[in-house]
Structure 1
Amino acid sequence: MIDPAASSPVSSQIFAVVSLLCISVAVVLILRYYLPLRTTPAYLLVPVFFALWLPASMVLLVPIDLASSALADDAAARGIWLSRAVIKVSWRIVYWLTFVLTWFILPILAEYSDSGYREPKAKVVDSLRANAQYYALVFGSGFLALIYVLVSYGHFSKSLQSTVMALAYCWGLVLAIYLMGHGLVAIPRRLFRNANISGKLRRIQAQAPRVYEQMEDAEMTLEDLEMQVSELSRRKGGSVSLFQDWIEELVDLTNLPESGPATARVIPGSGDASRMLPTVITEKYMADLTRRLVRAKHARARYVGDWNRLLEDAVKTQAILDSAASKKLDFGAPSPVSGFWDRHNPLTPYTRFLFHYHFVPYFRIGLGAFLSLASACIVWSEVVKGLLPTLSVIRYSVIHHWEAEGGRVGFAGQVIAALWMLYMCAAALTSITEVKVWRGRALVRRNTAPESAFWYASQVARLSVPLSYNFMTFLGVIYHDTVFFDFLGQLINLTPLGEWFDYLFPAFILLPVGATLFGLYGKVKRTVGFGVDVLDDDDEEGTNVYGSGSWREGRDLIERELNGTSAAIRGRRAEAAARIAGHPASRAAPILSVPGSSARREAGAPTTPLGTSPNARPAANTSARRVGRTQGSSSRSEPEPEDENFFEALGHRFRNTIDTMDKPKWLQDIGQGIKKPKWMGGDDEAEDAGSSQARTNTDVRRWFGGGSEGRIRL
């Protein structure tokens, strides 16, 4: 056997350097996808870059450490290896930089970027104040653990260091096991579900009402804050004069002339809009207003992007379904935000149909089956590694060269180990994007909020070390010879509690796996409710049982957007709201109702291609509910049942037919009183006209703009 510290081949060093350069390019492309690089400040780009680059380098460093721990005599079986001194320095740099970024730099910078103050000093103070509770909890837990380690270990030389590293590892392992367990089930299941094109379209339609409602809520919140800024800019003198420059910056940030009339958001009976503002304007109020305004703008951008992406997916999925008859598929002109492959697609309409209608579904099924097997291997290895490590499947897939002294990892084993780690990290990180986190953090293409970017980067850095070390424990006793075990493993196993936690706690991955596999999140949410947002990827049959509407409502909502009728609807709504704002005491606010989309198609309504009207927003039943809720109305439309049997469907059709029938004239005249005959001075025609006009004037539908034809005007 060759001593790894004797020499290091040049080919391995070149491979390691080239791999790090490729990782750097990939991280820069990820940052470019979510952040505008030219306008993003350096204090955001540099920490986030290292928070992504360091965890990605662990995927390269772990296989090299495994191959360098004990080299085989056969040169062809050595793989990529480096000296132990180089690996030890690399682990120290990667670990401690990741530790400092996770627990100190990124949280402080996140609150700094989210602070509404103008001066850097005030932002730093506000950030430290916001993180004070977080650090008090961390240091308090660390102090208690330090006392336990001192009692158990009996020495002081490594107690502080081991406590800090072990606590960070344990907290990261708890989070990683939960997120990875959910992702190991969610990723294959999503592939299986998306293989069914019609089922995918139904799920998209089921998500439409919820996404649209979130977008409208975000727009309404932003409009309310813009009204406050507008009213604040009208004030003169007093405490407002101290923040005149600040207020002008807020006015420039809101872009009020292009945001629509402010009167459209005035609520009848609420009084003057100036009541929203305090009598004395303070610096704290200005900072809070700035923070809420910036958050509202990013939230609006997030939900508008989600809505546009949902529309694009719906259009493409519907086009794929419709291409089954013509055997030709054409998605039309690509949008300006489309990717490179969408703008430069070499496929013909027929080959595009074969690719999307036949190849892609079967490919998703095959990939889903393969990843399901990989997920089962990971879960099995987590369960048996503590008691029966020889039964670990991952161990035999990575170690291909068995010798009397132990196993050796070659180049093929290093590649497989890197793939295992990538899948484990992808399962955990995918779950992070699905969790409905506090403050509504989200990754938005080219418009991610700075605080969200810091938060997601910190989660990536926090999960990297536990997942890397957890993977090495799958390999049995071979990982005891690695530098990573000398650096971190011995400190984790310093006390019996840490050793048992490291081996037994990963078996609890069965809890998130079972909860996701059997739909426990959805059952808990249906039972408990209270508006709690959990991982709700377990809806069955593509129905939106948690949202504000059914897939049929989402289908009509998408059709109204694509048919180009939403702009006119929104204009009428603005005019109605403006009239109400001008005469608040005249009448109650209307509740809008939009006829079905089939009537517009029969009337020959013009169609608008996707992306030509970015400001258009469809009106739907969710809008009616929200307007009624805002104006103080308690009317709510009943949710439409998802699945109906034959008798229920027949009963609903009879009821709809009877409700939409026009009453005959003799039935309408009942209750109007006895009419005078013509010889007593009565005029039948005038009487009929007068009674008809009276019925029209007394009809409750006129309160909502209705006419004699029985429809409700918008």
Structure 2
Amino acid sequence: MMLVFYLISLPLTMGMVILTLRYFAGPAVPIHVLLTVGYTWFCSFSIIILVPADIWTVISLTMVGHSSKAISLFWSLTYWSTFLLTWVVVPTLQGYEDAGDFTMAERLKTSVHANLVFHLCVGSLGLVGVILFIIFRRNWSGGILGFAMACSNTFGLVTGAFLLGFGLSEIPKGIWKNADWSTRQKVLSHKVAKMAVKLDGAHQEFSNAIVVTQATSSQMTKRDPLRPYMNIIDSMLEKMLKEDSSFKPQGGRFGENDMDYDTDEKSMASLRRRLRIARDQYCRYRSEYMSFVLEALELEDTIKNYERRDATGWKFVSSFRPVRTGKLGPYLDTTEFVWRCILRKQLQKLLAVILGCMSAAILLAEATILPRGVDLSLFSILINSVGRQELVGQVIY
């Protein structure tokens, strides 16, 4: 039965990771970044696999020996992988990709330097805390490792409690509100207007970066020692403009120090980094803006189709999509109408009610966790009612 659970949960977890990567990753993200982020998210999502198996191992009296050792090994692998990824691999890779230097060694050096400064600051604060703890508790004889583990667990529990408290109320409430078309229209109108302002600012910054880059390149002679670096930046800018031919720089302005990028290699790296960040920010805001606009148009189509359902024969008519043809066209239009105008709204409300009930059950379980003899936790009741039905137990866990 355990094998059946793994065959279900493992593809489910991998599918969540892949879908999340496809949703958030940009088109120009390097493969090593995708693999690193994918493994990081897999370690986070692996709780779906490990927690049910761990609970069943503890409850079942027959599952001992090899199974418990295997689960302990997987827990250790997940923990230390997450630890190294959180504090070493991901910050270093993030700093490396963010650096504007022209060689791998220099980009890695910049990343390591920035992360060392951060770790030294955090370590200094932690050292001060330990010293104060020893001073105010003079007979303290506990281990430093135990104290550090206690602080880490406390931080994790407090942070998790805050995030869980937000999600328990906001997720069901947000889904319920979004099911109402008029409320969703107001929200989308606000988001479109807000994102339009951000997009305009990002467009202005990208235009400024382009103008500064072109001015710096024009004033630099061919024999300038920094000319090879400028050629790399020029090639990058040419590639950017070629990939997005619709972008037209408008109103580029010079800042106070915008003509000082040609002083040394570090300043050229700063110019390259500024240009890349400006482009990425513009592309991100443009994508979000287009996503909100498209959702608003689809919602407007949904409302119009519902109001004109008798005239259209309960067929969905899109205002920005070609009319379906062929024998299956009318059936697909009817199916889309039923889904968009009737079913989706009701399913959203049903999902909000289910999630609201789960939130109430979690709060009730947490509020009654201390009193003995009283078990008001829905999840505890379900677990105890399963008995030794392993597959059903794994699904419930």
Of residues 300, 323, 331, the one that matches 2:318 is 331
Shift of 1:114: 0.6
Please list the CA deviations of residues 20-51 of structure 1 after superposition, one character each: whole Å capped at 9, or x if unmatched. Answer: 344334423432343368x6434313321221
Which residue does 2:325 correspond to in 1? none
Gaps of 5+ in 2: 310-314, 323-327
Classify 1:191/1:275 alpha carbon distance in 2 versus 1 (closer, same or farther; 3 Å): closer
Within 5 A, what are the aligned runs for 1:168-187?
168-187=152-171
Shift of 1:97: 1.0
Q: 3-state DSSP class of the match of 1:329?
A: coil
Q: 3-state DSSP class of the match of 1:265?
A: coil
Classify 1:22/1:62 alpha carbon distance in 2 versus 1 (closer, same or farther; 3 Å): same
User: 1:300 & 1:390 partners in 2: Cα distance?
Assistant: 53
Larger helix proportion of the pair: 2
Q: Does the 8 Å contact 1:28/1:49 carry over to 2?
A: yes
Q: 3-state DSSP class of the match of 1:154?
A: coil
Q: 3-state DSSP class of the match of 2:46?
A: helix
Shift of 1:307: 1.3
Is 1:20 aligned with 2:10?
A: yes
Moved over 4 A (4+): 144-153, 256-262, 332-335, 344-347, 386-389
Which residue does 1:30 correspond to in 2? 20
Is 1:298 aligned with 2:280?
A: yes
Which residue does 1:416 correspond to in 2? 396
Within 5 A, what are the aligned runs for 1:603-622?
none
Q: Does the 8 Å contact 2:13/2:48 carry over to 1?
A: no
Q: Does the 8 Å contact 2:181/2:303 carry over to 1?
A: yes
User: 1:16 & 1:101 partners in 2: Cα distance?
Assistant: 25
Shift of 1:121: 1.9
Q: Does the 8 Å contact 1:142/1:163 carry over to 2?
A: no
Shift of 1:381: 2.5
Shift of 1:232: 1.1
Which residue does 1:117 correspond to in 2? 101
Which residue does 2:79 correspond to in 1? 95
Which residue does 2:227 correspond to in 1? 244
Q: Does the 8 Å contact 1:142/1:167 carry over to 2?
A: no
Which residue does 1:315 correspond to in 2? 297
Q: Does the 8 Å contact 1:65/1:81 carry over to 2?
A: no
User: 1:93 & 1:325 partners in 2: Cα distance?
Assistant: 56
Classify 1:266/1:116 alpha carbon distance in 2 versus 1 (closer, same or farther; 3 Å): closer
Is 1:106 aligned with 2:90?
A: yes
Which residue does 1:640 correspond to in 2? none
Shift of 1:353: 2.4
Classify 1:333/1:81 alpha carbon distance in 2 versus 1 (closer, same or farther; 3 Å): farther
Q: Does the 8 Å contact 1:231/1:274 carry over to 2?
A: no
Q: Does the 8 Å contact 2:188/2:292 carry over to 1?
A: yes
User: 1:117 & 1:208 partners in 2: Cα distance?
Assistant: 36
Alpha carbon RMSD of aligned pairs, Å? 3.4
Which residue does 1:154 correspond to in 2? 141
Shift of 1:284: 2.1
Which residue does 2:385 correspond to in 1? 400
Classify 1:346/1:383 alpha carbon distance in 2 versus 1 (closer, same or farther; 3 Å): farther
Is 1:357 aligned with 2:341?
A: yes
Classify 1:70/1:367 alpha carbon distance in 2 versus 1 (closer, same or farther; 3 Å): closer
Which residue does 1:207 correspond to in 2? 191
Number of aligned residues: 379
Is 1:59 aligned with 2:48?
A: yes
AA aligned opposite 1:64: A
| Bigger Rg, which one | 1
Please list the CA deviations of residues 173-232 of structure 1 after superposition, one character each: whole Å capped at 9, or x if unmatched. Answer: 332222222122121112111221122122212222111111111001000000011101
Shift of 1:252: 2.6
Of residues 28, 44, 54, the one that matches 2:33 is 44
Q: 3-state DSSP class of the match of 1:400?
A: helix
Q: Does the 8 Å contact 2:2/2:390 carry over to 1?
A: no
Gaps of 5+ in 1: 1-10, 336-343, 403-407, 418-714
Q: Which one has more relative contact order, counting CA pairs under 8 Å at least 6 apart?
A: 1
User: 2:248 & 2:306 partners in 1: Cα distance?
Assistant: 46
Which residue does 2:213 correspond to in 1? 229
Classify 1:411/1:15 alpha carbon distance in 2 versus 1 (closer, same or farther; 3 Å): closer
Q: Does the 8 Å contact 2:56/2:394 carry over to 1?
A: yes
Which residue does 1:277 correspond to in 2? 259
User: 2:230 & 2:369 partners in 1: Cα distance?
Assistant: 61
